[in-house]
Amino acid sequence: MTIIKIKAGLGNQMFQYAFGRALSLKRKELLFLDTFYYKNQPERDAKRELILDKFNIEASFSSEEIYKKYNSKFKVFLKKLYRRIKKIDEYTYYPSFMNSKLSYFEGYWANQKYFLKYEDIIRKDLSLKNPYCDSSKKIVAQMSDCLLKGEIPVSLHIRRGDFVSNPHSAAYNGLLGIPYYEKAVSLLMSKYLPKIAVFVFSDDIVWAKENLRLTCPIYFVSNPNIPDYEEIILMSKCSHHILANSTFSWWGAWLNPNHDKIVIVPRQWIANKTVDQIDLIPKEWIQI
């Protein structure tokens, strides 16, 4: 069997699932998800909830007995691996993992090279189990209305939350300012799409409304009635995307199956410049 430890927020959960799903397909094994992280989260981590169960995933949740058995074995292996490659970067692709005989895996696996071979299956798995709530249905209707008017819907994600409130997250990730978003919209309108409508997603939508000033139509999506797992799918329903330095908006763009989509991302994804980010961004996405 293949067991993947699931931790952190939705974007990271999706990367961990995608890695595990690809590995289980390659091995022709059952996939189990260890979710015990959510019972005892480290204090320095932003508090998160398990959300993968809202999607059509092909996996089971592992028992505590399985977790205890393989967690200790994994730690022994990891110590040996550190001696060989010094450090496991969360965004770097290590092909050796896809041929590993391990049963238990812990990491972020934030690299599409692990699962690109199975992209159609991953996108199907990460579709919603249940219909949209009423508030989400209204957003879908607004997107359709925009298209009828010749306005191309573009998602724009602003990540603040723990990037502002949590010192560890703030120092590691960094915070994008309004100039980045203005530059991204300007580039999109001047070079690619003169007529767009921007759909704004944010964990601080009040701040976004107070600070974001654009010349195109703006729809502020996020509100307490729309759960985050629906938001990420709504994001993927837009035609093109402007990302924050967040795995949440990474997946919002990646789940859009249109290979002609335009995706704009920050050139410096992580404030910590010692982290290798070269494999995180697909080569066709535009970095500014």
For the segment 233-258, what is each residue's pLDDT rounded down to a tens digit?
999 999 999 999 999 999 999 999 99
- Decide if pLDDT at 39 tops 90: no
For the segment 159-209, what is each residue's pLDDT rounded down to a tens digit?
987 776 666 766 677 789 999 999 999 999 999 999 999 999 999 999 999
For the segment 217-228, what is each residue's pLDDT rounded down to a tens digit?
999 999 999 999
Tell me what the pLDDT averaged over the chain comes to. Answer: 89
Q: Where are the domains of the chain?
A: 2-125, 134-287
Q: What is the pLDDT of residue 72?
A: 63
Q: What is the pLDDT of residue 77?
A: 56
Q: What is the pLDDT of residue 91?
A: 86
> Where does residue 161 rank: exposed (0-12), middle (13-18), buried (19+ CB within 10 A)?
middle
The residue ranking higher by pLDDT, 258 or 280, is 258
Give CA–CA dist 147/94, Å, rounded: 41
- Decide if pLDDT at 101 tops 60: yes
Angle CA(136)–CA(256)–CA(284) in degrees, nearest 5?
145
Reported as half-sphere exposure (CB side, CA atoms, 13 A), residue 215 has a value of 11
The CA–CA distances, whole Å, from 180 to 6, 34, 108, 242, 280 equal 32, 37, 26, 10, 19
Query: Positive or negative CA dihedral for 86, 92, 98, 103?
Result: positive
% residues pLDDT > 90 (the chain):
68
Residue pair 157/252 in contact (Cβ under 8 Å)? The answer is yes
Residue 159, H or E segment: none
State which of 57-66, 94-103, 158-167 shows the largest mean pLDDT: 94-103
Reported as half-sphere exposure (CB side, CA atoms, 13 A), residue 73 has a value of 11
Give CA–CA dist 35/93, Å, rounded: 24
Among 156, 158, 159, 207, smallest CA distance to 186 is for 156
What average pLDDT does the segment 273-279 reach? 73
What average pLDDT does the segment 24-45 reach? 89
What average pLDDT does the segment 38-66 reach? 86
What average pLDDT does the segment 113-126 reach? 97
What average pLDDT does the segment 20-43 reach? 91
Q: What is the pLDDT of residue 273?
A: 73
Pairing of strands 196-202, 152-158: parallel
State which of 40-49, 52-61, 78-87, 167-176 shows the largest mean pLDDT: 52-61
Residue 148, H or E segment: helix 134-148
Give CA–CA dist 113/132, Å, rounded: 30
Residue range 134-287, CATH number: 3.40.50
pLDDT class of 73 with cuts at 50, 70, 90: low
Give CA–CA dist 10/246, Å, rounded: 10
Tokens 């690619």: give the residue.
192
Q: What is the pLDDT of residue 41?
A: 81
pTM for the model stands at 0.89
